[in-house]
Structure formats: C-alpha cells, structure tokens
C-alpha cells in the first residue's frame, strides 16, 4: 500500500510500504477514507521534536473496516469508523473512567505503526479504540467532513472547554487561533458560554472564530493583550482555554484568568521560558487539562454533529488527496491553511 | 513599642519602633499575645527574596484588641483575635467567594506595616480580617497554642488537602515534612483519607507525621521516591499535597500523582528547574491551590480545635519570648526547630 513517510524536517513523501495484517486477535484492518494533517504534526515537520526518518505519519482518520480479528466483539467488517488519535484497550481502570489517553495499553498512530496518512491501517484494541458510525448515517461528503474533526481537534477543543469548567453564561477566553482554538470556541458556545473572547492574530481565522461564536477578538498575546482582557472582563475570564502550548501562550492564559478560576490547557507544552508561577500561586488559578481523551467525547459530539447542531468542518479549509499530503504540510507550515483534510 | 526588625540575611533584631495608631476608621490596634516564625520567613532570612533593611517581620499572630476605629462593626475592645496571614476587606467579590487572598484591598503584615513579631499591631479592615474567639473560650495556654497555627500553617495544610480534593478513603501523598506538610497530614486525616504517605527525611518530623495520621513514610524525594510511591499505590496517589515549593518537590508531586487526579500545591514556588510538563500534560494531572485563604477556613477549623478534635500545636516545638526571636530564626534555619512560637 501507499503511505506518508517522514524523511527529514520539511520532507515527507508518499511511498510504498508493507500492507498491514492482523497481528493480534483484537486488531482490525481499515481502509482510510479521510485523514487530516494536524498542527502537532508541524512539530516534527519543523524539526522541533525527535522523529526518525522512515517513521509514518498521521493520527486522525476515518475509514471502513475490511478485516476483523477473532476477538473483536463490537466492530464489524464494513463498519465506517472514527479513530481517536490514540489507541486504548477500553477495559483498564483509566479507560473505564474515560481517561483513554492514560490507558495502560495506550498506543499511537504513525511512527513505527501505521499512520492515518496512508491507504490502510492496522488498529489494535479495535473495540476499545474505534467508534462505528450508526449504519443509517448517509455517505455524504459534507457530513463526513463535519465528523472528521472529532478524531482530534474538535474533541481537543471540547476537552479544553470542559477542563476550563465552561458553564452557561460564563466569560470565556480562548488563547490560540489554530484549529483547536477555533474548535474551543465552538465547544465553549455549545456549553453555553455568555461571552467568548479569542486571542489570535490572523484575520481569516478571526472571521471563522466570529462565525463559531466569538464575541470579542483581541489581536496578539503578551502583556498588552493581557491588559485588554483584564480590563474588558473587569479582572479576568472565568474559564481560559490554552490551545497553543508555548510558555508565552500559557502565561497569557494565566494572566487573563480570573483569580480562583481555571485554565484548561490542551496545547502540547513546549515551554521554553519559565511559567508565571507568581500569578498561578498568588491568585489560586487552577490548571486542568492535557492530552484530550477524545474517545470519551466522540459519542456526545457525534450526536450533535448528526443532529446538525455542531459543525467543525470549516476548520478544514484545504483538501488534498494522498499524493497532495506534502503540499498540505507546506500549506500548514506557512499558515496558508488552518487544517488540511486528506480525502483518499 | 518593641518589635523585630530585619537588618540583613541572618540578622534580625528587637528594636524600639513607633507605637501604632489608628489611621483608618476600619482599623483596630491589638496587643500581640502569641506569634510564630514561619518557614516562609526563612526565604528573606536566607537572602533568597528581596527584603529591605528596616522592614518589620511576622505574619502569624493572635492578640487582644485595645483600640477600635469608629467604623469597625464586629470586633470589640477586649476581644481575643486570630489574624490570618494577610489582611482583607471582607466585602469585595473575592472575599465574598472566600478567596480572601485575592481581595482587591489585600494587605500584608510586616515590611512597612506592623508585623506579628512585635508587641502591638495596627490591623486594617479589622472586620474583614480578624476572627474573634468566642468569649467563653478559656484563657488556657495549651488551648491557645492549638489555635495559633490556624493563622497560617494549619489553614495552609488544609488548603493543600482541600485543593488536592482529598475524599473519604482516598490515597493521599504529602510532599514535605515542614510544619505545613505536617498540618497537611492532619488535614488529610480530618477529611477522611484512607492512606497517607509522607515524603520527608527528618526522623523526628516523621515521628510527628505518624502521630498526625501518616500511614507510610518515604525517605527523600526524586526518582527513587517516586518509583516507590507509584509501586505502593499501583499507579499514584489520588491526591498529592505539595508543601515545599521547589521544582524538585513539585515534580515529585506530579510524578506520584495518579493520572487524572490532583496536586494541591501550597509551597510558595521557587522553581529553579523546569516543571515536568510531559507528565502534567500526558497524564491530565490537575494543579489546584496556591496561597491559602486561611481567613475562610478559620471558623470551621477553630470549631474542631475547640471541640478537641484537632490539635496542630505539636508543630510548635520551640517557644521563645520577643527577645528570643533571633534565636528562633536560627533554630528554624538550621532545622533544629520545626516551627517557633513567640509567647509575648
């Protein structure tokens, strides 16, 4: 089969790789129909994290099940499935609590495993990992595009909002204008936020933020932005969604959070500078969040997407086929695209 | 009057200073009967934080009210009062929520104000700051010594336990064997913890931890201690109380916290090294806490002390009079005393 392979920073290629096969009785094989390129893929694409030449890529995908291991109980051949961005056994104490990302058998797509940016995938622990679409869901391109972000960015934005304790009527601030930040806006609105302030700097993204429910836009980060949010909220937001992962964005989140309230952080930490421990400590700001257990959120978010109440598909503002994946990386690297859909 | 004055690191002296007088109609003047030296006083005593020569010291005190400003409504001349370690107006939105340390008119003892380590104190916002003892409380030395830690360390240990979400039956770990850590043990037991693991390294303190309810003692911090706690708890403690404030202790707290559970941190952050952001993020560990709003906790803790159900007084293992304050600092600096009571 063909799949995306990492060669070096700035260099991913589509190559022939071995076809996957069932290895464990709890595996399934699926043909990928849709995948994404993720903002977090840019970390290795830019050479900022260790990633070995030859490793495979892509952790967001949907597909159709083609072969099922003998111990798989709930997933069937022919099912259209949504894959969360990690695999999980579904039975350990953390999975039972909904914290699938801390599964004692947690696994990752890509690297030495099959990745979503390829034709086929072997999925371990299929029962604990995949969510099958109800059979009556129409095979509609627009609808499937609305479901695709549930594999990662919509679940992650929702995790930020849930972690930040967004309640009806709350004053919410979102740090970051990437796909996750934009999904955080959608999630905050869905949870009933009364006011949603977005800190970002690219005009097209801010337009989308407004469409998604943002009530106020603040350009940039840092001290000036902090001062403006503190002033407009008379002391800080009730819930802050940190959707970037740098120390600057995290400190901005701390700076605009109301004393005693919560920062929900989902940006993978790449903290080059010290955190503002003084504000964290002296204002009793709570920090919740981390990697999003999106598997736990897919059922409730899917219900809203299928009912037409939730549509994160506008974050997917560029579509490529498998051969176009390298161009997709380039477009995201240069911020020409918010997020790229790979339509096989 | 006479009071403790800071000269230089390692050098505090008892000197004559101006008598306090009522300055605002919401002030009271109180004669200090009991005070403490705090572990956090050692930061300036050791020259680790900015503290100016001539500044006054002491933020934990009890006393008797001698003069009352014309707008004070609830505190009366002759009342025996407990002072939390910050002053607060009692009426702003944060005070009304119980987050007195974020009061918009928050104030501090010592520095350019009167400190507890002196004969008299002017207390601003007396109604919002002080708690009067019920008039029927006997003037009993042992009882008053049990109440004194409510000014800071007992309330702070309680804040660590509340912030860490200690519930009946929970597996709790306490990082730190200072007065706050020991009070954290008491607080965790009071909240019904099923198991209390203490990480510390001084034998006498560990004996006291056992008396206070510790079920397991782990010597030291760092990777080896983390490994032992992870093993004995099969994956980490439900609630971790971080009662030191260094990056080592904070990272130990993160390392022994069960995925998805909470670190309650009350150690004033002096983070020299980076935090273990990977564990925080990938295990969805929650961080709550900060400076303790002890004013909010005094009523409920006082009730238990008066009923004989709570007695933190053993953390006060050395007593001096005002002239003995410099010796008290020395004893705490060399860890000869856990915590020093100043009996005027």
Domain shared by A134 and A161, yes or no: no
The residue with greater pLDDT, B318 or B201, is B318
The answer to whether the CB atoms of B284 and A293 lie below 8 A apart is yes
Domain shared by B20 and B93, yes or no: yes
The answer to whether the CB atoms of B280 and A290 lie below 8 A apart is yes
Instruction: Give B102's contacts in chain A (Cβ within 8 Å).
Output: 259-260, 282-284
Domain shared by A144 and A17, yes or no: yes
Residue of chain A minimizing CA distance to B283: A102
Q: Is the CB of residue B49 less than 8 Å away from at least one CB of chain A?
A: no
Residue of chain A minimizing CA distance to B278: A269
Domain count, chain A: 2
Domain shared by A269 and A181, yes or no: yes
Q: What is the mean pLDDT of residues B34-43?
A: 95
Model pLDDT for residues A134-176, shown as the tens digit of each residue: 999 999 999 999 999 999 999 999 999 999 999 999 999 999 9
Whether B289 has a pLDDT exceeding 80, the answer reads yes
Positive/negative CA dihedral, A144, A149, A151, A154: negative
CA dihedral B48, B49, B52, B58 (to 10 degrees): -100
d(C-alpha B94, C-alpha B96), whole Å: 5
Q: What is the mean pLDDT of residues B288-316?
A: 98
Q: What is the mean pLDDT of residues B269-285?
A: 94
Which three-class secondary structure string do you get for chain B? CEEEEEEECCEEEEEECCCCCCCCCCCEEEEEEEEEECCCHHHHHCCCCCCCCCCECCCCEEEEEEEECCCCCCCCCCCEEEECCEECCCCCHHHHHCCHHHCCCCEECCECCCCCCECEEEECCHHHHCEECCCCCCCCHHHHHHHHHHHCHHHHHHHHHHHCCCCCCCEEEEECCCHHHHHHHHHHHHCCCCEEEEEECCHHHHHHHHHHCCCEEEECCHHHHHHHHHHHCCCCEEEEEECCCEHHHHHHHHHHEEEEEEEEECCCCECCCCCCHHHHHHCCCEEEECCCCHHHHHHHHHHHHHCCCCCCHHHEEEEECHHHHHHHHHHHHCCCCCEEEEEC
Q: What is the mean pLDDT of residues B35-47?
A: 95
The answer to whether the CB atoms of A287 and B284 lie below 8 A apart is no
Which residues of chain B from 273 to 292 reach within 8 Å of chain A, CB to CB? 274-275, 277-278, 280-291
pLDDT band with cut points at 50, 70 and 90 for residue A201 = confident
Please say which residue of B289, B312, B330 terminates a domain: B289
Q: What is the mean pLDDT of residues A268-282?
A: 93
Size of interface A-B (CB pairs under 8 A): 82
pLDDT at position A202, please?
Answer: 87
Whether B101 has a pLDDT exceeding 80, the answer reads yes
pLDDT band with cut points at 50, 70 and 90 for residue B227 = very high
- Chain B nearest-CA distance from A147, in A, is 25
Q: What is the mean pLDDT of residues B34-60?
A: 96
Helix axes A222-232, A247-255, angle to 10 degrees: 20
Domain shared by B214 and B315, yes or no: no
Residue of chain B minimizing CA distance to A270: B277
Model pLDDT for residues A47-76, shown as the tens digit of each residue: 999 999 999 999 999 999 999 999 999 999
CATH number of the domain enclosing A167: 3.40.50.720
Whether A339 has a pLDDT exceeding 80, the answer reads yes
CA dihedral B14, B320, B335, B244 (to 10 degrees): -80
- Distances from the Cα of A327 to the Cα of A39, A47, A316, B50, angstroms: 14, 17, 15, 54
Residue of chain B minimizing CA distance to A293: B284
Of A277, A286, A287, the CB nearest to B269: A277
Mean residue pLDDT of chain B comes to: 97
Domain shared by A7 and A147, yes or no: yes
Mean residue pLDDT of chain A comes to: 97
Domain shared by A52 and A177, yes or no: no
SS3 state of residue A265: strand
Burial class from Cβ neighbours inside 10 Å (0-12, 13-18, 19+) for residue A48 reads exposed
Task: Give the rounded percent of residues in chain A with a pLDDT score beyond 90.
Answer: 96
Domain shared by A140 and A222, yes or no: no
- Chain A nearest-CA distance from B235, in A, is 10
Q: Please, how many CA atoms are within 13 Å of residue B259, restricted to the half-sphere of its CB?
A: 24
Domain shared by A6 and A54, yes or no: yes
Task: Give the rounded percent of residues in chain B with a pLDDT score beyond 90.
Answer: 96
Domain region containing A180: 154-289
The ipTM of this complex is 0.95
Burial class from Cβ neighbours inside 10 Å (0-12, 13-18, 19+) for residue A41 reads buried
pLDDT at position B202, please?
Answer: 87
Whether B251 has a pLDDT exceeding 90, the answer reads yes
The answer to whether the CB atoms of B290 and A271 lie below 8 A apart is no
pLDDT at position A100, please?
Answer: 98
Domain shared by B274 and B229, yes or no: yes
Mutate to test the interface with A, among B88, B244, B277, B280 (most CBs of A within 10 A): B277
Model pLDDT for residues B155-204, shown as the tens digit of each residue: 999 999 999 999 999 999 999 999 999 999 999 999 999 999 999 988 88
The residues, ordered by sequence, that sit 6+ positions from B113 with a Cβ below 8 Å of its Cβ are B56, B107, B122
The residues, ordered by sequence, that sit 6+ positions from B276 with a Cβ below 8 Å of its Cβ are B251, B254, B255
What predicted TM-score, i.e. pTM, was given to this entire model? 0.95
Whether A220 has a pLDDT exceeding 80, the answer reads no
pLDDT at position A70, please?
Answer: 98
Domain shared by A221 and A247, yes or no: yes
Please say which residue of B289, B318, B334 terminates a domain: B289
CATH number of the domain enclosing A131: 3.90.180.10
Mean pLDDT is lowest, of A121-130, A217-226, A281-290, B149-158, for: A217-226
Which residues of chain A from 77 to 116 reach within 8 Å of chain B, CB to CB? 94, 97, 99, 101-102
Domain shared by B44 and B165, yes or no: no
């Amino acid at each position: 089969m063909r799949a995306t392979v990492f060669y070096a920073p700035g260099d991913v290629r589509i190559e022939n790789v071995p076809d996957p096969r069932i290895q464990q009785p709890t595996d399934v094989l699926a043909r990928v129909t849709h995948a994404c390129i993720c903002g977090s893929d840019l970390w290795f694409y830019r050479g900022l994290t260790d990633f070995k030449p030859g490793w495979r890529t892509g952790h967001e995908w949907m597909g159709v099940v083609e072969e099922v291991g003998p111990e798989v109980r709930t997933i069937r051949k022919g099912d259209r499935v949504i894959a969360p961005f990690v695999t999980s056994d579904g039975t350990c104490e953390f999975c039972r609590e909904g914290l699938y990302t801390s599964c004692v058998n947690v696994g990752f797509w890509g690297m030495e495993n099959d990745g979503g940016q390829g034709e086929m995938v072997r999925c371990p622990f299929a029962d604990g990992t995949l969510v099958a679409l109800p059979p009556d869901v129409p095979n509609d391109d627009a609808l499937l595009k609305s479901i695709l972000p549930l594999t990662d960015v919509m679940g992650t934005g929702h995790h930020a909002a849930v972690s930040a304790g967004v309640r009806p009527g709350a004053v919410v601030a979102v740090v970051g204008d990437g796909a996750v930040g934009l999904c955080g806006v959608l999630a905050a609105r869905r949870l009933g936020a009364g006011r949603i302030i977005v800190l970002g700097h690219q005009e097209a993204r801010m337009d989308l933020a407004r469409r998604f429910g943002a009530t106020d836009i603040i350009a940039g980060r840092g001290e000036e932005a902090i001062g403006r949010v503190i002033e407009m909220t008379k002391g800080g937001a009730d819930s802050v969604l940190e959707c970037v992962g740098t120390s600057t964005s995290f400190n901005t989140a701390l700076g605009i959070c109301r004393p005693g309230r919560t920062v929900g952080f989902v940006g993978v930490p790449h903290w080059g500078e010290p955190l503002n421990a003084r504000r964290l400590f002296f204002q009793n700001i709570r920090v919740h969040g981390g990697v999003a257990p999106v598997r736990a959120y897919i059922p409730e978010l899917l219900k809203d997407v299928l009912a037409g109440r939730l549509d994160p598909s506008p974050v997917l503002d560029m579509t490529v086929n498998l051969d176009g994946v390298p161009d997709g990386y380039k477009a995201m690297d240069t911020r020409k695209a918010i997020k790229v859909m790979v339509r096989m």
